[in-house]
Chains A and B, each alone.
Chain A
Amino acid sequence: MMAFVDTGRRAGPKPIAAGEVLLEVEGISLAFGGVKALNSISFDIRKGEVRAIIGPNGAGKTSMLNVINGFYHPQHGRITYRGEVRRRQRPDTAAQQGISRTFQNVALFKGLTTLENIMAGRALKMNVGFFWQCLRVGPALNEEIAHRRKVEEIIDFLEIEHIRKVPVGKLPYGLKKRVELGRALAQEPELLLLDEPMAGMNLEEKEDMSRFILDVREQFGTTIALIEHDMGVVMDISDRVVVLDYGRKIADGTPDEVQKNQDVIDAYLGVQH
């Protein structure tokens, strides 16, 4: 029964051991017309770590995620993922390679229920053909049920059973963020990009979300890159931090190192350059 679950990206190259470099960006520059959003940025993400990208507003953090995603195409620089250099690619290929993400301003499918949204995350892994889809018996129904089982596991994990059949448009913000995390998890990503997963949450919700993020890494071995403004959270849960300011990288290292870095302090406190 589980045979056709997980067929999505079994064919990938050899698995990467924890601690090795999973994704490397080198000299990425991105400009919109005359505005330089990213200026020669380089850093790497290692398998199994929680990597935070921080910086003041407008520093280019979301643009960086968009570049990794393949949604924006940088003018210069190269991205190496799993040891392969990526050329210009469509966003849907990144998803096929096991990169999934959440968005700064929740981008859920608002006409669908929680359950359907998370099922949507399985889109890539479902492939029973059109004919069976029309009849919805045999393989199509079995596939649907197998994936439903998987989705229910995620719903259990995130403790959102009670809103299973509620259209997501009606959910409060904190729960929306959680459903969006569930949708990204349903893709069974190797690399999970989280764009401000805790923005606008109260302390309790932040604690819950931090726990989920650490649990995800623990249970599934997922590598996580996150953008976050709450320094307390960033320092607590991330292994390494890269700091951007005005599209440039100004620091990179463990939370302790970054905290002591003078450039970072200046960027946040606003020193006259």
Chain B
Amino acid sequence: MFYREAGQFKTGYADDMAVFPIRQDRIGIAVILAIAYLAVPMFGSPFFVSTIMIPMLILTMAAIGLNILTGYAGLISLGTGAFMGVGAYACFKLATAFPDVNVLVWVLASGFFSAAIGVVFGLPSLRIKGLYLAVATLAAQFFLQWCFVRIGWLTNYSSSGSIEAARRSLFGVQITGPGASETARYLCVLTLLVALTWIASNIVRGRIGRKWMMVRDMDIAAELMGVRLLPTKLLAFAVSSYFCGVAGAMLLFFHYGSMESIAFNIELSFQVLFMVIIGGLGSLIGSYLGAGFIAALPVVIKFAPQILGIELPSAVVDQVTVMIIGGLIIFFLIVEPHGFARLWQIGKQKLRVWPFPY
């Protein structure tokens, strides 16, 4: 009833091409941002902010990265975890080598390192597609993980083999390292995510995003229309890996504080892939919905039975979660290959025409 666009006229192509052409959407996004920036830090419990919101937002960033590669450019990757690792290790090295520069600069810069590595492992994508490319990215996953373990220089020869986030601050407020408040970390993560989402949405809606989708939908036709495949695919690898790298650096500096190479294993790659599939391939909103869902599911499965008075052992919770996610992936692929994002769209359409069916 309130979701009507009648009376809102577009007077130029710029209006028509805006992210949120409908006024109600603009109000909606403002409300969501207000909740995220004000309500969550003010009313959210420390547990909620630090163990649900922060990892969820960071994984959203990684999901956006993978979605750019898989959803927009149609190139499947099983190496997301390793590319995130490159960002984390790069940020660790940069932050320890140049402690005077603000850590946020290094978080953003670390993405460039994983972008470069991503391009190297994207090179085979010229000759190979689909399943074959999946194997190439597996090579990246296992090789990079081996590097994290074997190259002592990466961890500053730490005896435990782990990397740690040092204490750093912004405007006099400590934002990383032991003792940083969850609110400060949360606000950093949120701001980075919002800014990079805006950039991602600009890229995918413009010339570059169209080229990626051309290659995804019909690479031969794209080539015959003058799109050079290799640079286009490599750019997708670079941008995608940049987002994953920044996500990895954030995971270290704003969430765990201390990580070992095992954290960037293939499980992480799969987790991000599942977020993208369940959320919706080729949709940024889908990346948010998918990450939110997968981050929230174990919590729900853990606490829902408790409300009913049943206590589940944590191993069972894990196993049930794994099964449900697997089942949901199959379900979504069969019923709605565009995931939550399409359900969201359908919902909006229904709301527009309500109370009429169409």
Q: Do chains A and B touch in the complex (CB under 8 A)?
A: yes
Segment of B179-187, B210-218, B291-299 in the binding face: B210-218
Taking a contact as CB atoms under 8 Å apart, the answer to whether A107 and B13 are in contact is: no
Query: By the criterion CB–CB under 8 Å, are A103 and B211 in contact?
Result: no
Interface 9-mer from A28-36, A132-140, A207-215: A132-140
B202 to A120, Cβ gap below 8 A? no
Interface string of B317-355 (1 = CB under 8 A from A): 000000000000000000000000000000000000000
| B199 touching A134, Cβ below 8 Å | yes
Assuming the contacts A136-B206, A144-B206, A145-B14, asked whether A109 and B226 have C-beta atoms less than 8 A apart, the reply is: no
A119 within 8 A of B: yes
Please state if A133 and B203 are interface contacts (CB–CB under 8 Å).
yes
Q: How far is the CA of A164 from the CA of B25 in the complex (A)?
A: 22
B224–A135 CB distance below 8 A: no
Taking CB atoms, residues of chain B closer than 8 Å to A128 are: 207
- Asked whether B13 lies within 8 Å of A112 as measured between CB atoms, the reply is no
Q: For residues 161 through 218 of chain B, which have their beta carbon under 8 Å from a beta carbon of chain A?
A: 199, 202-203, 205-208, 210-211, 213-214, 216-218
Q: Is the beta-carbon distance between B217 and A95 smaller than 8 angstroms?
A: no
Interface residues on B, range: 20 to 34
Interface membership of chain A positions 56-76, coded 1 if the CB is closer than 8 angstroms to chain B and 0 otherwise? 000000000000010100000
Is A135 touching B210 in the complex (CB atoms < 8 A)? no
Q: Is A175 an interface residue (CB 8 A)?
A: no
Give every chain A residue within 8 A of B216 (Cβ-Cβ): 109, 111
Query: B13 contacts A100, CB within 8 Å?
Result: no
12 residue pairs bridging A and B, Cβ less than 8 Å apart: A69-B224, A71-B223, A100-B225, A108-B218, A123-B210, A123-B222, A124-B227, A134-B199, A136-B206, A145-B12, A145-B13, A148-B13
B positions within 8 Å CB-CB of A: 12-14, 17, 199, 202-203, 205-208, 210-211, 213-214, 216-218, 220-229, 235, 282
Q: Give 14 A-B pairs besides A112-B210, A141-B14, A144-B17 with Cβ atoms closer than 8 angstroms.
A: A71-B220, A92-B225, A96-B226, A107-B220, A109-B218, A109-B222, A110-B218, A120-B210, A120-B213, A120-B214, A123-B225, A128-B207, A133-B203, A187-B225
